[in-house]
Amino acid sequence: MSTAKDLFIITMDERPGDGVGQGDLSLALAGAELIDLLAVRAASLDGDSIVPGGPHELHDELVTEAASALIRQAPYETVEDWLWRRGRDLSANYQAALEAAGQLTRGRRALLPFGNDRLEVAETPVRRRALSRWEAGEPTLVALAVAVGIAAPGSEDAGEQPNEAVLEDEAVAAVLATVNDAVTELAAVRHRRSIENAAFANVWRAP
């Protein structure tokens, strides 16, 4: 099971037209990878620091790559730093991996959240697994999807988070909270840049 791959598939199924931002999705994918590493004890949290565990058979090439990317000497990396470092271009990496594996196909139904290529999710056991988790309202997957602007199953509000009581694992809850903070920070950076660009353009238009 790869929560990150499931998340990528859900973003394409639920938002086929306008999609989600590449940066937002990359941050959430990095968070999803870390959550899967925590689940198999390939990593643990000490406060907000990621402490690597021993070797594990992870059964997913990108999650294995994520495990190899963990900082293994103190001082360990914080969850926030992991999201920004590991998340760089991560959505494009997942697109390439899924397409190479035949999980994405060229088609006319969906527009990828980033870029101009039209891709659609192939009808495979991988897609069915992702949809099964989504339709069952699996809290971690739903929380990650909500973080990038997708409404939870049965909700029309894209900002409505899953019941926090369901997220009983404190480490997972901490990762999800950091993902939300990082996405919010990225939105603030985008907003600031748009204001700066508009002000610059107005200078050139001024008489």
Instruction: Encode pLDDT of 11-34 as tens digits.
Output: 988 765 456 788 999 999 999 999
Q: Is residue 133 a contact partner of residue 6, using CB atoms and an 8 Å limit?
A: yes
Give 48-94 pLDDT, tens digit per residue: 999 999 888 888 999 999 999 999 999 999 999 999 999 999 999 99
Range of the domain at 44: 3-205
The pLDDT score that the predictor gives to residue 20 is: 75
DSSP code of residue 78: B
Angle, in degrees to the nearest 10, between helices 61-68 and 3-14:
120
Q: Is residue 45 a contact partner of residue 171, using CB atoms and an 8 Å limit?
A: yes
Phi (first) and psi of residue 87, to 5 degrees: -75, -10
The pLDDT score that the predictor gives to residue 105 is: 85
The pLDDT score that the predictor gives to residue 188 is: 82
Q: Is residue 119 a contact partner of residue 107, using CB atoms and an 8 Å limit?
A: yes
The angle formed by the CA atoms of residues 55, 3 and 82, to the nearest 5 degrees, is 65
The domain total for the chain is 1
Give 165-174 pLDDT, tens digit per residue: 446 689 999 9
Q: What is the pTM of this model?
A: 0.83
Beta bridge partners of 105: 120
SS3 content of the chain, % helix, strand, coil (to 5): 55, 10, 35
